[in-house]
Amino acid sequence: MKIGNIDLGERPVLLAPMEDVTDLSFRTICREQGADMVYTEFVSADAIIRNIDSSLRKLTINPAERPAAIQIYGREVGPMVEAAKIAQEANPEVIDLNFGCPVKKIARKGAGSGLLRNIPLLLEITREVVKAVDVPVTAKTRLGWDHDSKIIVELAEQLQDCGIAALTIHGRTRSQLYSGEADWTLIGKVKENPRMTIPIIGNGDITSPQKLRDYYDRYGVDGIMVGRAAIGAPWIFREMKQYLLTGEVPVIPAHEKMELLRRQIDESISRIDEYRGILHIRRHLAATPVLKGLYNFRQTRIDMLRASTRDELLDILDRVEREFLTAT
């Protein structure tokens, strides 16, 4: 699959943009583990043009994580164009437009998936951003606003006509948020549309190497994006890539997984500070599958989420690793 001149190979696996998840450290680790391309946390166009430090820091790209995309969101043409120009200065391989975020505080204000209720504006933003920057522009969206407005087949053509280089489709409507099962049938119909010439990337509920390959075979998409299944488990990309190549899921030792979690803790603290870095990393620790099934897992999880210092947190992980390795 190629986005512009960026060749991601056959059946690439991409890390989805996720707020408070896909920071620089996590993206770099996911690339090392096999992700073919990574996306930043989605960044507010308004915050970028107002020079909000916390938002500008999200535009930083580490050479080790490339190819990388910066994703921006907003509800007005001017700020989106200006933000895209500023984002381009970070030299990303791709600028991605967020037309799919379902979070109430964003969608209700007309940004993210809120633009699915104002298609003329969504298309105008897309056209103007494409014209304003020199890097490939892509978009990520959903099937539609709700069950009665699944417009993705027509919208995909319109977005392609605006000049985007690839389209990612999450297989839910905005009203579904993340509930129910992602419906890939319409993603498949977009891919089957003979008018579509740009790459189509599917997203939603890809939780295992087996499901990844099955959905590639079933829906014929050019790429697949993995989101929540990677939280606390960056090694899933290594598992997925090897399964695509060999049909076998590699056995990754528990101590390797634990070392990746420890690295995330240290890099999160180093990037921010001890208190906020630990708050940030808790989402990964709460979700990581490596701890599930352990004796007294519930209490251990509570202890991790209550830990307030690096030493305290690492002591818990050391104890958990000993218990895990003993149990296996």
Strand duo 167-170 + 137-142: pairing: parallel
Cis peptide before 67 (omega within 30 of 0): yes
Q: How far apart are CA 45 and CA 79, in angstroms?
A: 6
Nearest-10 crossing angle of helices 310-327, 297-306: 160
Sort 84 into a burial class: Cβ within 10 Å, 0-12 / 13-18 / 19+: buried
Q: How far apart are CA 284 and CA 282, in angstroms?
A: 5
The single residue listed with the structure tokens 């905005």 is 174
The single residue listed with the structure tokens 């947190």 is 313
Question: What is 299-319 written as a DSSP string?
Answer: HHHHHHHH--SHHHHHHHHHH
Q: How far apart are CA 47 and CA 73, in angstroms?
A: 10
Query: What does residue 163 show for φ and ψ, rounded to 5 degrees?
Result: 105, 10
Q: How far is CA 139 from CA 14, 73, 160, 287, 296, in A?
A: 14, 10, 10, 28, 43
Catalytic residue among 3, 18, 81, 101: 101
Nearest-10 crossing angle of helices 274-287, 297-306: 160
Confirm whether 101 is a catalytic residue.
Answer: yes
Q: How far apart are CA 328 and CA 323, in angstroms?
A: 9
DSSP 3-state percent helix, strand, coil across the chain (nearest 5):
50, 15, 35
Residue 219, token pair as written in the block:
């829906």
Q: How far is CA 145 from CA 142, 202, 215, 224, in A?
A: 8, 18, 24, 22
**Which amino acids are annotated catalytic?**
101
